[in-house]
Amino acid sequence: MEKNAKIYVAGHRGMVGSAIYRKLLTEGYSNLITRTSAELDLRDQQSVTAFFEAAQPEYVFLAAAKVGGIVANNTYRADFLYENLCIQNNVIHEAYKTGVKKLMFLGSSCIYPKLAPQPLKEEYLLTGLLEETNEPYAIAKIAGIKMADAYRAQYDCNFISVMPTNLYGYNDNYHPQNSHVLPALIRKFHEAKANGQQEVTIWGSGSPMREFLFADDLADACYFLMQNYDEPGFVNIGTGKDLTIKELALLIKKVVGFEGTLNFDSSKPDGTPRKLMDVSRLHSLGWNHKIALEEGIKLAYQDFLSKHS
């Protein structure tokens, strides 16, 4: 990407989009195009058409999406399917129509079958049933990958897809019901400490295993792949290392400084038993993550304190 190229970061206020935006600024890109959701509703086809025709971006990072944790995914099933399909359909199609040089579509590791072998290789996509609670979101993201590939095959568009693992970091969502597990635990432990609670209850058994990548590492990988990857299909982005939810909780408890005990509520759903990414393709291309989990949690907690305390 040329330093003066017009680059559109869709979703620049979210955790992923803001990390990509910061990365591009750090690398010396100044011609960045952004629109808030109030300025441009990506679900609206006419608005997206008008935006692309006026702005004429040369490169697009499609990081805009409707996202949430188990509760949100399972509660707002129609919204997650409809809104994500609208966003990616509109952006990908307009990128094709206006001759965008390269587009990156960002998906999610929840696209893999619930019981796929571990670690998750890219070729395991569509080899089994999805996790029921986030099936609508996963189907939307799978459609996005296939759409990028279809436009590449039919129209020779340089559209690529990446699949990040579980993310956390600056500008994360700490909503009590709609957040993912890591930020939800940061908030839980922080509030328990502030209120002098003796115990924190955590959903599920604590046994599922999860992998976590700091969002700024993801942005670094996206920037790297935008320069160095040009293939159909998609690339996993992660650390290749995981830990149990219980181990994660103990780590966050330590960082936050909560002194009480943990109680795991096994009556609540665990979700997928394990979701570890096979990142051998990414490593073979020459990229590795840099921020260790405990270091990243400390950075995320400081960001939480700056906004929520």
Contacts of 291 (CB under 8 A, 6+ apart): 214, 216, 217, 299
Percentage of the chain surpassing pLDDT 70? 99
Answer for the pair 239, 304: CB distance below 8 angstroms, yes or no. no
What is the rounded radius of gyration, in angstroms, for the C-alpha atoms of the chain?
19
Nearest to 287 by CA among 221, 241, 214, 233: 221
Note the pLDDT of residue 230. Answer: 96
Nearest to 235 by CA among 290, 284, 169: 284
Q: What is the pLDDT of residues 208-245, one digit of tens each?
A: 999 999 999 999 999 999 999 999 999 999 999 999 99
Tokens of 276: 């570890």
Query: Residues at the annotated binding site?
Result: 11-17, 106-109, 141, 164-167, 180, 188, 203, 210, 270
Note the pLDDT of residue 276. Answer: 94
Q: Which residue has the higher pLDDT, 71 or 167?
A: 167
The three-state DSSP-derived secondary structure of 14-29 is: CHHHHHHHHHHHHCCC
Edge to edge, what strands does the sheet with 59-62 contain? 32-33, 7-10, 59-62, 102-106, 159-164, 234-237
Answer for the pair 240, 278: CB distance below 8 angstroms, yes or no. yes
Domains for the chain: give ranges and CATH numbers: 7-171+212-241+276-291 (3.40.50.720)
Calculate mean pLDDT across residues 142-166.
Answer: 97
Dihedral (C-alpha) 176, 244, 263, 250: value to the nearest 10 degrees? -80
Answer for the pair 242, 166: CB distance below 8 angstroms, yes or no. no
What is the average pLDDT score of the chain? 95
Calculate mean pLDDT across residues 277-284.
Answer: 97
Residue 109, pLDDT above cutoff 90: no
Q: What is the pLDDT of residues 63-80, one digit of tens each?
A: 999 877 777 778 889 999
10 forms beta bridges with 62
Tokens of 222: 């996206």
Largest CA-CA distance found in the chain, in angstroms, rounded: 60
Contacts of 73 (CB under 8 A, 6+ apart): 80, 133, 134, 136, 137
Strand, helix or coil at 237? strand
Query: Residues at the annotated binding site for NADP(+)?
Result: 11-17, 106-109, 141, 164-167, 180
Query: Residues at the annotated binding site for substrate?
Result: 188, 203, 210, 270
| Positions marked active-site | 137
**pTM value surpassing 0.95:** no
Residue 137, pLDDT above cutoff 80: yes
Task: State the number of CA atoms in the 13 A half-sphere of 289 facing the CB.
Answer: 25
The three-state DSSP-derived secondary structure of 62-94 is: ECCCCCCCHHHHHHCHHHHHHHHHHHHHHHHHH
